[in-house]
């Protein structure tokens, strides 16, 4: 092969390789952030879920804002109000079952059903019945609770009713599992109900998970409502820690 032909071929190969290299370089530059190195890598922020009662922000808010009493009315205070305001206790479940239709039709008891502000959980040791004044109390608690959430720009959450009317039989059965279940309970008189402070029902119908810090916020709101109504002489209230509920008895 002549020297001129060889030189031309070599020049062609070198030119072709150079073109490929330049094309690759241009493509690589197009993939590089033009703001580099001015734009820093963004930090990944992860949500932190605190156990109920342990959210530091909620603790700070509770100290600075919420007007909440200790809410520690003892069992004697609840019993005094229950005996004065309620119905004679039923010894057995069968006795209540036999009489409940007549008691409801005559207005002695009102059956609790889900409302706009609360729902009744599946009850295993109690019946969803209260004397009328206790229902009025419960409805007002729900109304005030919802109003406070609205003022805080929080979407409505329903309260969860976890225990209502008990008979002597169901009270004795509950005492095996629950150390708070004393033999003489205000629940026997149809004047008393428990509201969970760990479970609130979302608008979607799903129960908000425990440990979500908003529980603390809603618990403080509900406690403030109960503090106000207790100060008005409307109810007796005690916080049951083991059962995670507010134990409430109508008082006038």
Tell me the pTM: 0.71
Whether residue 84 lies inside any domain: the answer is yes
What does the pLDDT average to over 134-161?
Answer: 90
Whether residue 10 lies inside any domain: the answer is no
Burial class (CB in 10 A: 0-12, 13-18, 19+), 175: middle
Average pLDDT of the chain is 80
Whether residue 29 lies inside any domain: the answer is no
Could you report the per-residue pLDDT of 165-219, keeping only the tens digit for each?
999 999 887 655 555 455 689 999 999 999 999 888 876 666 655 555 555 678 8
Q: What is the chain's percent helix, strand, coil content, to nearest 5?
A: 45, 15, 40
What does the pLDDT average to over 105-116?
Answer: 95
Q: Which residue has the higher pLDDT, 220 or 168?
A: 168
Backbone angles phi, psi at 245, to 5 degrees: -150, 165
> In whole angstroms, what separates CA 74 from the centre of its chain?
25
Number of domains in the chain: 1
Whether residue 43 lies inside any domain: the answer is no
- Is residue 165 within 8 A of residue 190, CB to CB? The reply is yes
Whether residue 213 lies inside any domain: the answer is yes
Whether residue 36 lies inside any domain: the answer is no
* pLDDT the model gives residue 204: 61
Whether residue 83 lies inside any domain: the answer is yes
Could you report the per-residue pLDDT of 23-81, keeping only the tens digit for each?
666 565 555 454 444 455 555 545 455 665 666 656 665 555 678 888 999 999 999 99
The CA radius of gyration of the chain, in Å to the nearest whole number, is 33
Q: How far apart are CA 244 and CA 8, in angstroms?
A: 90
- Is residue 161 within 8 A of residue 120, CB to CB? The reply is yes
Whether residue 26 lies inside any domain: the answer is no
* pLDDT the model gives residue 200: 84
Owning domain of residue 83: 56-250
Question: Which H or E run includes 99?
Answer: helix 93-105
């Amino acid at each position: 092969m002549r020297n001129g032909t060889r030189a031309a071929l070599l020049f062609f190969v070198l030119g072709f390789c150079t073109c490929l290299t330049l094309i690759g370089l241009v493509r690589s530059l197009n993939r590089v952030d033009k703001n580099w190195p001015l734009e820093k890598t963004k930090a990944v922020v992860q949500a932190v879920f605190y156990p109920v009662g342990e959210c530091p922000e909620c603790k700070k808010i509770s100290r600075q804002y919420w007007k909440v009493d200790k809410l520690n009315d003892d069992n004697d205070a609840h019993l005094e109000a229950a005996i004065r305001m309620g119905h004679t206790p039923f010894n057995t479940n069968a006795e209540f079952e036999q009489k409940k239709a007549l008691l409801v039709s005559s207005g002695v008891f009102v059956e609790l059903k889900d409302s706009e502000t609360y729902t009744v959980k599946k009850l295993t040791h109690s019946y969803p019945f209260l004397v009328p004044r206790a229902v009025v109390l419960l409805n007002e608690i729900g109304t005030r609770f919802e109003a406070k959430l609205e003022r805080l720009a929080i979407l409505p959450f329903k309260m969860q009713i976890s225990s209502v009317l008990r008979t002597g039989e169901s009270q004795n059965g509950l005492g095996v599992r629950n150390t708070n279940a004393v033999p003489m309970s205000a629940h026997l008189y149809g004047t008393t109900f428990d509201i969970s402070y760990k479970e609130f029902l979302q608008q979607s119908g799903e129960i908000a998970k425990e440990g979500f810090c908003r529980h603390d916020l809603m618990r403080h709101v509900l406690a403030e409502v109960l503090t106000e109504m207790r100060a008005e002489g409307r109810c007796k209230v005690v916080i049951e820690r083991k059962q995670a509920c507010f134990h409430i008895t109508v008082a006038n």
